[in-house]
Amino acid sequence: MALINDNYLKLPGSYLFAEIAKRVAKFKEDNPNANVIRLGIGDVTRPLPPAVIDGLHAAVDEMANEKTFRGYGPEQGYAFLIQKIIATDYAPLGIKLDEDEVFVSDGSKSDVGNIQEIFGVDNKVAIPDPVYPVYLDTNVMAGRTGELAGGKFAGVTYLTCNAENNFIPALPEQRVDIIYLCYPNNPTGTTLSKEELKKWVDYARENGAVILYDAAYEAYIQEPGIPHSIYEIEGAKEVAIEFRTFSKNAGFTGTRCAFTVVPKTVMASTKDGSRYPLNKLWNRRQTTKFNGVPYIIQRGAEAVYTPEGQQQIKELINYYMTNAKTIREGLKSVGLDVFGGVNAPYIWLKTPKGYDSWSFFDKLLTEVHIVGTPGAGFGPAGEGYFRLTAFGSQESTQEAIERIKNKLSL
């Protein structure tokens, strides 16, 4: 008799964004003439930069020629892309990486979900609350979280982030082994200073822990002094794995390309106490379960690092950050408490008095036909908050704010 993985039964009935899509579909079915503006899921809307398109086209032509055709590529990624990543994203920050410490993949969601496979199920996990649901859900699937009780999993250490602590999580009171951090943060749009991030690196070094650092939105940092990489912190290459993506800076949400940095100096322990490099384990996992990102896509990603590509992604980011400013200032003008939107494309707001996050979702949808994301979907500490994204068009973003100002009853 075939048995299921019972851990899947511990998960909520549906993934957060699937539930949102279901509710929006029902609303549109009942209101076919409604012009619904989506400021919910963090999907980009602008087309790929021209430099990327040129790179993709050239690679397609190569695949049409017998002399330049490519079959299976290296699971870790082509050297031409890895070299550009190191030279452009890390070397200017004074960070030295070897080529075999960078792994190209089809998305950070895949990597942050799959990375837990190389860790034992007995590890104690710390996860920011609220945060991107994939961190928690994949650990639930693996059987690392215990049972759900009172809205929280017993085996998880929740790092509460709210307005009261300026969205800066405190170090855990009890020892943990794996720490998820995401900065600039999804969903709150907030950041950590180098001084605050150093506390986590020092904690990991002192306790033999590993930090899984999601830097998917680092390109949106506008203010000086905020770290773009955890490896800017002394000692981080001993304890941290970093995830980055081309999805949000270059519009690759539908094209799929990202990379993960696993320094060879990051170690974890075997049951007998021996120390073992996680780089080797991740390489083994990827070469077994992953066939690599298509050559054509990697050539497109490489074009991001041309002078033209760098200028074009800067313009793309500025476009979305203009939206973030529009949303942030518009919400504040109607008296809402607003966070984020300065160094990230996400705006995090407190729901009005009398509304929890899902009832405010319904209110926005029914009254002004705007879709956002209920904070409760990101964790227990997200209740009473709501996320809007800057990834729409500037026209629709401006229209959404005008509706909130003039038609939403607060």
Q: What SS3 string covers 352-392?
A: CCCCCHHHHHHHHHHHHCEECEEHHHHCHHHCCEEEEECCC
* CB proximity list for 156: less than 8 A, separation 6 or greater: 125, 126, 127, 136, 139, 145, 146
pLDDT of amino acid 16 = 82
Task: Taking residues 24-30, report their average pLDDT.
Answer: 95
Ramachandran class of 286: left when φ > 0, alpha when ψ lies in -120 to 50, beta otherwise: alpha
CB neighbours of residue 22 within 10 Å:
11
Tokens of 111: 């990597």
Note the pLDDT tens digit of each residue in 97-107.
999 999 999 99
Strand boundaries in 49-171, DSSP class E: 102-105, 125-129, 148-149, 152-153, 156-160
CB neighbours of residue 161 within 10 Å:
25
Q: Is the pLDDT of residue 50 over 80?
A: yes
Q: Are strands 258-261 and 370-371 parallel, antiparallel or unpaired?
A: unpaired
CA dist 85 and 104 (Å) reads 10
pLDDT of amino acid 228 = 98
CA dist 332 and 166 (Å) reads 17
CA dist 155 and 122 (Å) reads 10
Q: Is 179 helix (H, G, I), strand (E, B) or coil?
A: strand
pLDDT of amino acid 192 = 97
pLDDT of amino acid 410 = 83
pLDDT of amino acid 403 = 97
Q: Is the pLDDT of residue 42 over 90?
A: no
Q: Which residue has the higher pLDDT, 149 or 94?
A: 94
- Residue 23's pLDDT band, with cuts at 50, 70 and 90, is very high
Strand boundaries in 198-352, DSSP class E: 210-214, 240-245, 258-261, 267-269, 275-277, 338-340, 346-350
CA dist 96 and 338 (Å) reads 38
Q: Is the pLDDT of residue 14 over 90?
A: no
Q: Is the pLDDT of residue 13 over 80?
A: no
Tokens of 329: 């200032």
Task: Taking residues 274-279, report their average pLDDT.
Answer: 97
> What's the chain's average pLDDT?
97
Task: Taking residues 13-27, report their average pLDDT.
Answer: 86
CA dist 114 and 347 (Å) reads 28
Note the pLDDT tens digit of each residue in 204-250.
999 999 999 999 999 999 999 999 999 999 999 999 999 999 999 99
* CB distance 396 to 388 below 8 Å: no
Note the pLDDT tens digit of each residue in 117-151.
999 999 999 999 999 999 999 999 999 999 999 88
- CA 269, chain centre distance (Å): 27
- Residue 19's pLDDT band, with cuts at 50, 70 and 90, is confident
For the chain, how long is the longest CA-to-CA vector? 67
- Short-list 75, 114, 134, 109, CA closest to 246: 109
Q: Which parts of 64-104 fold into alpha helices (H)?
A: 79-85
- Residue 396's pLDDT band, with cuts at 50, 70 and 90, is very high
- Short-list 268, 236, 252, CA closest to 303: 252
Residues of the chain above pLDDT 70, percent: 100
CA dist 145 and 83 (Å) reads 38
Note the pLDDT tens digit of each residue in 66-91.
999 999 999 999 999 999 999 999 99
pLDDT of amino acid 384 = 97
Sign of CA dihedral 108, 222, 345, 298: negative
Note the pLDDT tens digit of each residue in 300-359.
999 999 999 999 999 999 999 999 999 999 999 999 999 999 999 999 999 999 999 999
- Residue 108's pLDDT band, with cuts at 50, 70 and 90, is very high
Bridge partners, 386 (sequence order): 349, 374
CA dist 344 and 136 (Å) reads 22
Q: Is 189 helix (H, G, I), strand (E, B) or coil?
A: coil
